[in-house]
Every structure is written in C-alpha cells, then in structure tokens.
Amino acid sequence: MSGNGLSYSEQGGEAAPELAQEAATTTTPSIPAAFGLFCSDTKKNEDLKQMLESSKDSAKLDAMKRIVGMIAKGKNASELFPAVVKNVASKNIEIKKLVYVYLMRYAEEQQDLALLSISTFQRALKDPNQLIRASALRVLSSIRVPIIVPIMMLAIKEASSDLSPYVRKNAAHAIQKLYSLDPEQKEMLIEVIEKLLRDRSTLVAGSVVMAFEEVCPDRIDLIHKNYRKLCNLLIDVEEWGQVVIIHMLTRYARTQFVSPWKVVEVVEEYSENNFCESDEEQKEKDQKVKGTYSMDPDHRLLLRNTKPLLQSRNAAVVMAVSQLYWHLAPKSEASIVSKSLVRLLRSNREVQYIVLQNIATMSIQRKDMFEPYLKSFYVRSTDPTMIKTLKLEILTNLANEANISTLLREFQTYVKSQDKQFAAATIQAIGRCATNITEVTDTCLNGLVCLLSNRDEIVVAESVVVIKKLLQTQPAHHGEIIKHMAKLLDNITVPVARASILWLIGEYCERVPKIAPDVLRKTAKSFTDEDDLVKLQILNLGAKLYLTNSKQTKLLTQYVLNLGKYDQSYDIRDRTRFIRQLIVPNEKSGALSKYAKKIFLAQKPAPLLESPFKGRDHFQLGTLSHTLNSQATGYLELSDWPEVAPDPSVRNVEIVESAKEWTEILGKPKKEKPTEKFYSESEEEEDESAGTNSSESESGSESEKEDDKEESSSNESGGSSSPSEESSDSESGSKESMAKKASRAANESDSEDAEKKAKGISKKLSTSSSSVTESASSEESSSDSKSESDSKSVSESGKSRSTTASKKEEKPVQDRKTPNKQDVFLLDLDDFCPVTTPVAVPTAAVLSPSVTADLEGLRLPSLSVIDVTTQVSVPTKTHELLHRMSGKGLAAHYHFSRQTGIFGDRMVSVQVTVTNTTDHKIENIHIKEKKLPPGMRMHEFSPIECLEPAGSITVSVGIDFCDSTQIASFQLCTKDDCFDVSIQPPVGELLLPVTMSEKDFKKEQGMLTGMNETSATIAVAPQNSTRLVIIEKLVKAANLGVVPSGQDNIHRFAAKTVHSKSLMLVTVELKESSTAQLVINTEKTVIGSVLLRELKPVLSQG
C-alpha cells in the first residue's frame, strides 16, 4: 500500500541502516559488556564520553559503534550529543560517517548544539568522499531552524549538480525537508526539481519524483519532457521509488490520454459479426471500430513497462502496478493483475488485509477478474477475523448462478464458526446472495429459518435481521415464517432482533390478525424493561394495530402510550406524543390525522443489501484514503479522463535533442574520413533524418514493434512490393549503425550468387516434385531480395527495419519483371508442405538431411523467415458433443480440423457433425446462449433448417480460446429443445504450425531460456526411436511444424499460438539407454508446461 501523504525522505538506498547493522554486530563481543552497555547505568555513559574524548581514533570508533548500536536497539542516546558533536570534524572517515548517522537521528532534538557545527557541515559538503557529502547534507537538512534556510538552499543547489548520483538523491530528499520548513522557497525548489527530473540515474528518479509529489504535484508540465525516460527507467529503479513513480504516472496519464473504456460498448457492438452480412458491410464496420479509439503510444508504453513489475517481490510495487492497470488499462487487459494480487495473499496478515480490501473493491465492478481464483478466497481457520470478513465479502461479490451452490455449502460451514462476529457476517452474506440471485432466494430463506433454532443467540439474532430484510421483497408468500418468528420473541433477548420481529409483525399485521394483538399484549407487560430500540417498535406496533384492529387493541395501545409518555428517554416521549396526536382523534388534532393509516401502513421499499466497499471506488486503489474510506492528508485525487487528448508532441522535446546529439556524433567521422563513405551524401542525410524518427520510435508501444515484425515477415513471404510501399517502409524504420549498413552492403554480391545458385537448385526440385512446385507457386520471388534486404531485413529479436534504401537500388526494382511463379525460390526451401490430402508424415521429410543442410547454407544471412504453414497432420480422433440419449435423438460429435484463417486469424476451427438418429425430421438446429469465459469469442454455424431421419451434416465453428484450455459452453438447440454442450480443446490444437530454418530456431530458442523453458527426461519406447515415427507421433498429438535438423538424434518442431502468435519451440533429443530430453521454449509458460505433460506419454507409450 502506498499513501500519497507519507514521507519518503529516509527510505531505501541510504547508508544509515547498513552502518547501524555493522555497528550492532560489533556491540556483542562479550555478554557482560553488552549487558552493561544497555542498562540504565549512568557510569557506562560516562565511560562512552571518556572514550569519545580520547586521543586515539580506535577508542572513538569503538565508542561510536556502540552508540549507533544503542540507537539500532531503540535506546535513548541523546545525552551523549555534546560529546559526539565534538568529533564531527574528525579526520577519520569511519568516525565521521558514524557521527553523521548519530546527528541525523538527534539534530532535530538538539538544534542549538547542532548549529555550532554548521561550518563543519559546509566544509563536509566539499569532501571527496560521496558518503560524507551526502551525510553532511542530510544532517544539515535535519536541523529545523529557519535561520539556516539560505544555507540549506545553497547546499541543495550545489548537491543537485554533484557528480555522485547518491549525493543528488540526498539533495532530492532535502528538498522535501526544506519545503516543510519554509514553503516560501517553493519556486526555487521547483527549479532544482526540474533539473533533477532530467537526471538519467535510476538512483535519483524515485527520490526526485517524491519531492515533486510533495512540493508541486500540479506542475505536470515538468513531467512532459521526462515521461518516456521515467517509463523506461522504471524497471531499474529501487522498489520504493517504483511505487512513487507509478502513482505519479497514474495521475499524469489520467490527464493526458483519453479513456480506453468508453469505446468498449461500441467495439462489442461491431464485433458481433453477422454471418449473413456481405464483406463490404463488414469492412465498413471494421473501419468504424478502428476509428473509434486507438491507444496513444505513450499510454501503451506505460502499460508495457509496468507489466513486468507484477512479478516484483515487493507487495507495494505489485499493488501499485495493479492500481495503475485498474485505473488506466482497457478492461480487457486489466485482468492480468489478478494472478499477482492473489499471489500476495500468501504474505503476512497486514499485506493480506490491504490486498483483500482492494480486491473487494475491484470485484464489485469486474467479477470476471477474480472468478478463476475463487478457491483462493476460501476462509482458513487460522485467519484473523479481519481477513475472514474481507474474504467473505469477496466471495459474496463473486457469487453468481454458476458457483452459488458451492458458496452456500461453504457458508454453511462458516456459520458454525466459533468466531461469532464472523458467523454473523456470514449470515449477512447469505442474505446478500439471496437478494442478488433470485434463483436461490427461497433456499437461503429456508436455511436462515433453520438457523432460528440455533443455540447461539447472536446467530439467531442476525438471522432474524436478515430474514426481515428478505421478507420485505416478497412478504405475501411468507406468512408462516412471520408466525414462526413471533413465537421466538419470548426467547430472543438481542434488542435488534426483537425490534426486527416487532417491525415485521406490525408491518404485516393484516396477514397475522390473531397473533399480532397477542404479541402487543406480551410486550406491553415488559415495556419498561425493554431497550429503547424495542420500545420504539412496540409503540409503532400499537399504532398500526390501533388503525387496523381497534376493537381488540384500543386499550392496549392507550396503555402503551401512557407508559411511553413518562419514559426516561426523550426519544420515546417524543414518539409517544407524535403517535397519540396522529392516531387518536380529538379537538386539537391536525389535518394529518386523516392520513394516519396511509402514513403508518404505507408501502415501504425493500432495503438494498449492498457491499460496504461499493462507495470506495472513487478513491485511488492502494492508497491510505482507500483503506480508511475517507480522504487522508496529502491525498491527490485522480482526475477524470479528458474528452480530447492534449497535444502529445509536448513529450517529444527530450527525444529530439538526444537525436540531434546522436547525428552530430555520427557526422564527425564522416568529415574526417570522406574516402570511406559508402553511401551518397543524399543517403547520409536520409540516415540522419531517419535517426531522428527512430529515437522517437524507440519509446513507442510494444504493439507497434509487433506490427513491424508481422509486416516485415509478410513482405518477405508475400508478393513483390511496389516502390511506394518500400519508401513508406523505409520512412517508418528505426536507426541502424553505420557498421551494420556497411556489412550488409558488402554482402550484396554474395547474396546475388546465392540467389542464382538457389534458382538452379529450385528448378531441379520443381521437376522432381509437382507438389513442391504447387506449394511454392504462391510465394514471392527471391530475385528482388537484393533491394528488400536493404529496406526490409527482419530481426526476430524485436528490432525495427532499416530506415534507408538507396536511390540506385530503387530503379532496378521498378524495371525488374515479375519472376515465373512456377519456380521454387531460395526463401521457400524450409516451407515445403503438401497441398494434397494431409498424411501423417510431412513432406519436409522427403528432403534428405544432407540436401537440407546444403540448402540451409544458401540462405541469405540477413533474412529470417518464420511463417505459418498448412497443417502437417489432421487428427482423426472425434469427441462427443451430445449423446443421442441426452439429445432426444440428436447426436453431435466434433473434431479439430486444423484449418487456418476460416473465421479469423485467432480462431480455432472445429468441425461439428450433427446426426439425426430419430425417425422424424429435426428442424432449426442452431447455437444459442453462449456461456464463454471472459475474452473468449465464438463464431456460430448457420442454422440447419431441416435434418432428415438418419441424416448427417458437418458444419464448422470458430472459437477463440484465448490460448487457454478453458471450456467453451453453449446450447445446441432445435425447434423444440435446447441442450447444454461444451467443447474443451487439447493444448496441441491451440497451435499453428510454423516453418523456419534450423538457424532461426536456435536463435529464437536462445531468447526463450530461463523461465520460458520447460523440460523433462522421458523413457522412449523402442518402436518410437526413428525419425519418421517421432514426427508422426508428435504432429498427431499437437499441431506442430517440422524444422529441418542437421543432426540425426535431434528433432525440432515449431508452432505459434493461435491467439497471441507466441512462438512454441519443441525439441526432442534422443540420448543413450532409450531416453530422450523433451524441451519446450515459449513465452506462454502455462501452455508450455501443459503441452509437455501431453507429449510425454506420446513418445513413452508404444
């Protein structure tokens, strides 16, 4: 948790704690000495004073270590101040550091004595040791005397220009202290803050942002120029600095970017693709959706750079990132914080309390974020009451029709808890569930009625109060429950419960005409002994019965009113006078007495049982104000999203300057060595201008980089691009070093020879295999790869394309003819796959390893092709969707066809075969009421108008599983019936096969190590040890593409996930003694581990 008003001045990164620990360790060399030191014996302090006045540095150092040890133990060492301050000018650095640690602790208490050493501190500010300079500034800023403000101001200005980032960090800390001492120095301090904000050190960033938040949080113009720098430095800043920066950037983003939430409804409306719509109509809709909202690159930069911090070990950092995503991210992306927040529930109870409070607020608005982690909020017997109550609150917020039965069983256990406060809260939770979910209202009501017979009075009382609220929603059906509660009145003593029963009987007295007067009679007897709350309800009951059944209750009511007239409580007396004048007509009665019945027996609205956290969402999550549910001192409110985003160019100032400096540096060697120019002067000018653009693109969003990857790969594998397309690509490229350009240009002649050699080989291959020729007919000619290698070289590590393309090389591109499409080209050698009926063994295996290795050597060194290919094998296994008995004669089976791009690039194609096993027609077979997890989408098949007896038809369905094995549930309906069915994909069907070279495979594998790698050693069955069998087994189990391998014992496979297009690299390395190492590299570690578990039995079983 982070409170915006908390001080940051003495937090992490400083030397004091380290020195204190060092000193503490030296204080226990012997038990007697340590015991004597920490007793309240003044003689020991006298001993320390003598040591401090000694002429030996060793004695002084030993004394200072013992004194700092006292401070670390929490002992008071203030009486030693005069003796310590004498040593402030010591020439021994170790003594001086410890003296400064002591003075920082007591300078504020002993200001007069500290002022005597001002000149010493000023000299120390020039000390060559950075720790001494920093400590002197900290001590100086700790002396809270207005007379030294000018000296402090001068010291801060000098320290802000210090070469040491540690000293500059302490200057930022001193700014806050000086501002609290003298707010009139604000303008001068803002100048120092502006200077420190330009600092590129990660040590300074957190401290200066905290100073900004304390001194001038409204001056967001100071952040504009430093926004991108802060985003990029964030990952390396120390933890408490990260918290401060994230909270500041959250407020900044809410003022500079438009809301990503308003367009959700529009996008959802247009994303519902009508199956019968024409392509033109759909294109128009897509254009409208694209026009509605596009996220600012700087907005995306902030979200992308804070995402890795969700794995931080510091709970405050995780909480800060979570609140940032909650307040700034699109609703579809905010769910990534759920897992990190649930992880924090393993921390200590204080952290749990804060995290659960924030989750409780989140779960009210977006239940889907935490529904998958429902079991994480189950209450443990060891949890303290505050944690139990919060977990119960979250479980109640997450309750829905699907999980309510599970939760009610859990609540039944909680009601039996020995913690009575928690048991009462559980009963309230049951009441809220009954109100929110109408299907279980009667069940909950019956359960609460059963609790009325509980031995525990608190449980019974709370049940009565909740039943009263539930009965208000539909009282006509529950006369028996009211009678049952009236009988309990003699045994219940809790005032709130007694008052609730009396209110119920009075409100619905016409439904229990025989019982109500008797209840009034009994309570009239005990009126004087009742609680004030109960007395008020007795008066109300008498008034209502007087108006509805005056024959039986007239005298009783008058008796009760007389008792109330002389009651000790003025509330009771006032209510008695009011009721008497209203219901008993007399000469003094006013006009209101005519409407007494309407006033007392008016229809009351049913109470709303709401979460106590419902009103907290206007506070920023993770702050002290949110925890207290009231505005704390120093809290800075989040502003509303602007309707129109302010000018984003204000954040470009810093980047343009750095680009100019870079171009000047690049320009110097060119002037010194003009003979070594490779490009013309006009090209160099283009390079310089492109360098400016690239520096801006470096801080662009991750999505732009991914788009550049996809564009570059599609340009290589697609048709020949026009010159205008190439020029536009070169304009959007990023900065590239001169050395890389020169090396690329030097390899041009080699690439030409490689192209010619590849053409010759491709012609031979085209004559020997017609299927290979067909598969290559749609590919691009590699003859124009010379020009494209300059402007469109691809790096799979995420770098942008080159920014330049020479004018001399553009002309041949225009004049060059389109090559014959029947040839097999160099870039296609790894992409061989059949177009005919799919078989178990891929066509890539037709090429011998030696030929493959030769062809691999002919690849252009600057190009890498990773492209999705057609499926190698189609699984024949079918799964039952609907049994004929359950479907009343309608049966359905499904299998995964592994066809790409039918319903969209993110959808998995599923073939559903529907069979009519009855002797009559089945009409209007269609899909209805999809119950999909958040983010999952489904493309339905067109309704089947009629299916003849014994007839069968196969239709296609597209499902976006979001790279997970979650179940897609929906209803398969006919004209008369609906049947609940579900489809769950094996993880191998969430992949698309990919073709790549062995070199590219190893390159990508090298970038997906560590946490992105999962492996296992398996025992391989003897019949599964050959190459063909391994390929056949694996491509049947998972939709993988085969990667050529130059080694007989290593088999490689590659794929991309359908939804996020993340690479999935599979390696099978056969070892001795019939074992194999199975390795999977992917960013999607969960999918990787599941795939590993599914592939292990494939090779181990015969």
DSSP string, 577-601: HHHHHHHS--TT--GGGGGHHHHHT
Amino acid at 121: F
Instruction: Write down the pLDDT at residue 597.
Output: 77
Average pLDDT over residues 1090-1094: 87
Rounded distance between C-alpha atoms, residue 762 and residue 823, angstroms: 6
Structural contact between residues 374 and 343, judged by C-beta atoms closer than 8 angstroms: no
Ranking 649-663, 801-815, 962-976 by mean pLDDT, the lowest is: 801-815
The DSSP secondary structure of 396-423, one letter per residue, reads HHH--TTTHHHHHHHHHHHHT-S-HHHH
Residue 345 CA to residue 353 CA, distance in Å, equals 9
- Non-local (6+) Cβ contacts of 178 within 8 A are 141, 149, 152, 153, 156, 185, 189
Please name which of 774, 802, 776 lies closest in space to residue 787, comparing C-alpha atoms: 802
Helix (H, G, I), strand (E, B) or coil at 1050: strand
The token pair at 873 is 């094998």
637 token code pair: 């409110």
Say yes or no to pLDDT of 3 above 90: no
Phi, psi dihedrals of residue 954, rounded to the nearest 5°:
-115, 130
pLDDT of residue 234: 92
The 8-class DSSP code of residue 734 comes to B
Q: Count of CB atoms within 10 A of residue 877's CB?
A: 8
- In this predicted structure, the answer to whether residue 598 has a pLDDT above a threshold of 50 is yes
Q: What is the spatial distance between Cα 653 and Cα 330, in angstroms, rounded to a whole number?
A: 28
Q: Are 547 and 583 in contact (CB under 8 A)?
A: yes
The rounded distance, in Å, linking the Cα atoms of 545 and 521 is 11
Question: Which of the two residues, 453 and 415, has the higher pLDDT score?
Answer: 415
Pick from 787, 867, 873: nearest CA to 1098 = 873
pLDDT recorded at residue 669: 43
> With 80 as the cut, is the pLDDT of residue 607 above it?
no
Asked if 111 and 145 touch (Cβ cutoff 8 Å), the reply is yes
Residue 141 in contact with residue 60, Cβ under 8 Å? no
Average pLDDT over residues 636-651: 85
pLDDT of 272? 45
- The residue assigned the tokens 């494939």 is 1098
HEC readout, 469-516: HHHCCCHHHCHHHHHHHHHHHHCCCCHHHHHHHHHHHHHCCCCCCCHH
- pLDDT confidence of residue 36: 44
Confidence of residue 1065 (pLDDT cuts 50, 70, 90): very high
Ordered alpha helix ranges (H), 88-201: 93-106, 111-115, 118-124, 130-142, 149-159, 165-181, 186-197
Exposed / middle / buried, residue 355 (Cβ in 10 Å: 0-12, 13-18, 19+)? buried
The Cα 678–Cα 655 span in angstroms is 28
Q: How far is CA 331 from CA 334, 365, 960, in A?
A: 5, 11, 18
Q: Reduced to 3 states, what is the DSSP secondary structure of residue 1089?
A: helix
Confidence category of residue 657, pLDDT binned at 50, 70, 90: very low
> Which tens digit of pLDDT belongs to each residue from 850-886?
444 444 443 444 445 666 666 656 666 888 999 888 8
Q: What pLDDT, on the 0 to 100 scale, is given for residue 8?
A: 41
pLDDT at 207: 94
**Average pLDDT of the segment spanning 380-391:** 91
Other CB atoms closer than 10 Å to residue 293's CB: what's the count?
A: 16
**Rounded to an integer, what distance in angstroms lies between the CA atom of residue 693 and that of residue 686?**
11
- How are beta strands 944-947 and 922-931 bridged, if at all? antiparallel
Residue 912: strand pairing partners: 894, 955
Q: Where are the alpha helices (DSSP H) in 198-258?
A: 202-215, 221-224, 227-233, 239-256
- Picking from 877, 926, 881, the residue whose alpha carbon sits closest to that of residue 898 is 877
Please determine, for residue 1077, whether its predicted confidence score (pLDDT) is greater than 70: yes
Q: Could you identify the residue written with the tokens 């033109």?
A: 280
Question: Can you state the percent helix, strand and coil of the chain, rounding each to 5?
Answer: 60, 10, 30
> How many Cβ atoms are within 10 Å of 823's Cβ, its own excluded?
20
Average pLDDT for residues 541-559, to the nearest whole number? 86
What is the pLDDT averaged over residues 1038-1042?
A: 89
Q: How far apart are CA 962 and CA 1059, in angstroms?
A: 5
In the predicted structure, residue 900 carries a pLDDT above the cut 60: yes
Comparing 313 with 678, the larger pLDDT belongs to 313
pLDDT of the residue at 653: 62
What is the rounded distance in angstroms from the CA atom of residue 230 to the CA atom of residue 197?
Answer: 9
Mind listing the pLDDT tens digit for each residue in 221-277?
999 989 999 999 999 999 999 999 999 999 999 999 988 887 544 444 444 444 444
Q: Which of 15-24, 107-116, 496-505 is modeled with the greatest confidence?
A: 496-505
Residue 959 backbone phi and psi in degrees, to 5 = -130, 130
Q: Which residues of 545-559 are buried (b: 16+ CB within 10 A; e: fewer)?
A: bbbbbeebbeebbeb
Lowest mean per-residue pLDDT among 320-329, 426-435, 476-485 = 476-485
Instruction: Tell me what pLDDT residue 872 has.
Output: 58
Average of pLDDT values for 560-582?
A: 89
What is the longest distance spanned by two Cα atoms in the chain? 120
Residue count of the chain: 1102
Whether the pLDDT of residue 731 is over 70: the answer is no
User: What pTM does this model have?
Assistant: 0.54
Q: How far is CA 598 from CA 500, 509, 561, 581, 603, in A?
A: 21, 15, 20, 15, 9
pLDDT above 70 as % of the chain: 72
Q: 215-224, 255-264, 576-585, 949-958: lowest mean pLDDT where?
A: 255-264
What one-character DSSP code corresponds to residue 201?
-
Residue spans of alpha helices (H) in 526-652: 532-548, 550-565, 570-583, 596-600, 624-628
For residue 195, which phi and psi values (nearest 5 degrees)?
Answer: -70, -45
Crossing angle of helices 441-451/479-487, nearest 10°?
20
| 8 Å CB contact between 1085 and 1014 | yes
Spatial distance between the Cα atoms of 352 and 581, rounded to a whole number of angstroms: 56
* CA triple 284-289-291, angle to 5 deg: 95
Bridge partners of residue 1069, in order along the sequence:
1050, 1077
Mean pLDDT of the chain: 75
Q: How sure is the predictor about 819, in pLDDT bands with cuts at 50, 70 and 90?
A: very low
Number of Cα atoms under 13 Å in the Cβ half of residue 891: 16
How far apart are the C-alpha atoms of 375 and 387, rounded to whole Å?
15
Order of strands, sheet of 978-983, starting from the edge strand that comes earlier in the sequence: 944-947, 922-931, 968-973, 978-983
Write down the pLDDT at residue 764.
39
Q: How much is the pLDDT for 594?
A: 75
Burial class (CB in 10 A: 0-12, 13-18, 19+), 275: exposed
pLDDT given for residue 789 in this prediction:
38
Q: What angle do CA 552, 556, 562 make, to 5 degrees?
A: 155
d(CA 718, CA 714): 5
Higher pLDDT, 593 or 1066: 1066
E strand segments, 865-907: 867-868, 879-882, 890-896
Residue (of 1003, 996, 997, 716) closest to 856 by Cα position = 997
The letter for the amino acid at 126 is: K
**pLDDT tens digits along 669-718:** 444 444 444 444 444 444 444 444 444 444 444 444 444 444 444 444 44
- What are the two backbone dihedrals, phi and then psi, of residue 306, each rounded to the nearest 5 degrees? -90, -20
Q: State yes or no: pLDDT of 214 exceeds 60.
A: yes
Specify burial of residue 779 (Cβ count, 10 A radius: 0-12, 13-18, 19+).
buried
Is the pLDDT reported for residue 1023 higher than 70? yes
Q: Which of 146-160, 307-321, 538-552, 819-833 has the lowest mean pLDDT?
A: 819-833
Instruction: Compute φ and ψ for 1008, nearest 5 degrees.
Output: -120, 55
The proportion of the chain whose per-residue pLDDT surpasses 90, expressed as a percent, equals 20
In 3D, which of 988, 1020, 1021 has the Cα closest to residue 877? Answer: 988
